[in-house]
Amino acid sequence: MEPILKVQDLHTEIQTDYGTFEAVSGVSFELEKGETLGLVGESGCGKSLTSLSITGLLGPKVRVAGGQAMFEGRDILHLPEKEKRALRGGEIAMIFQEPMTALNPLFTIGNQMVEMMLPHMKITKKEAMERAVKLLSDMGIERPERIIKSYPFQLSGGMLQRVMIAMSLSCNPKILIADEPTTALDVTIQAQILKLMNELKEKYDTSIILITHNLGVVAQVCDRVAVMYFGKIVETASVKELFERPLHPYTRGLMGCIPKLDRDEALLNTIPGMVPAVTEQPKGCSFAPRCPQCMDRCLREEPELTKITAGHGCRCFYVQEGGR
């Protein structure tokens, strides 16, 4: 079966006062129908920029410099702006990281949900409002008739995130992109949101791209994972395979940072150093300065994402030469 979304060799550039630099470098992945794909990595590694490139929501000094994103036979990266707008919110929807800033503080929740539906669906305002009430109820929100009359500042962070999910699903999208949907929420609300996303995937057969730095979240809701570092995918595998047998030193470093109840340690493990700035563009492997398995070759050459076993790829010379 053909994947619902196929991203090939995506390159995105940022224009700065110091020149133009590549922030997403040759990203490729596939998303199957009804699948949840996790994009994982530290802040600044290009996860959100990848999703914004696909949806065409880039800023004025950011542009897609190359690649394809095939959705139902169309390359959505190169569609006219009018067609991109028709796709956004309709067939491809996005949940943003900060619901308080994504919603307009001057309009009620109901008004914003109706305005979301009208351009994409052949329904009246009354029918759209009735649908808004039902969607909020599906999100587990009590008294949705009251919530649609509320303004964003009157609702909690967890409630706003539920509203955002309801809005994103209002037009029955085929792909849902969720950018850190549980960030800044307490643990209880996080668990409820993740449970809700799993239920919605089963109910609507929606394909989901989940952007997160939290591997615990990935373990709960994702089917496959693509680990990103400095604008590149460095490892891709099924969730089961990744957690049982992480290959890339960066992935293993991220795994080592997860707190475990059976550890008797005063401090959590960390990965030394930090993601390079986009203006640095290091030679060779971008993870080499932080890598415990760094070899001379890593400082000179950049590894390719190579298939190690069926469904498991890794961008690392050490792993490709048989190291584990």
Distance CA(70)–CA(121), nearest Å, equals: 23
Does position 41 have pLDDT exceeding 70, yes or no?
A: yes
Distance CA(41)–CA(178), nearest Å, equals: 15
pLDDT tens digits for range 117-127:
998 888 999 99
Tell me, what's the pLDDT at 263?
A: 61
Tell me, what's the pLDDT at 189?
A: 73
DSSP string, 44-84: TSSHHHHHHHHHT---TTEEEEEEEEEETTEEGGGS-HHHH
Distance CA(51)–CA(57), nearest Å, equals: 9
* Whole-prediction pTM: 0.90
pLDDT tens digits for range 50-70:
999 999 989 899 999 999 999
Tell me, what's the pLDDT at 75?
A: 94
Give me the mean pLDDT over the 43-55 stretch. Answer: 91
Q: What percent of the chain has pLDDT over 90?
A: 52
Beta-carbon-side half-sphere exposure of residue 267 (alpha carbons within 13 Å): 3
What's the pLDDT band for 305 if we cut at 50, 70, 90? very high
Distance CA(314)–CA(236), nearest Å, equals: 7
Distance CA(163)–CA(142), nearest Å, equals: 12
Tell me, what's the pLDDT at 215?
A: 87
Tell me, what's the pLDDT at 261?
A: 66
Distance CA(206)–CA(220), nearest Å, equals: 17
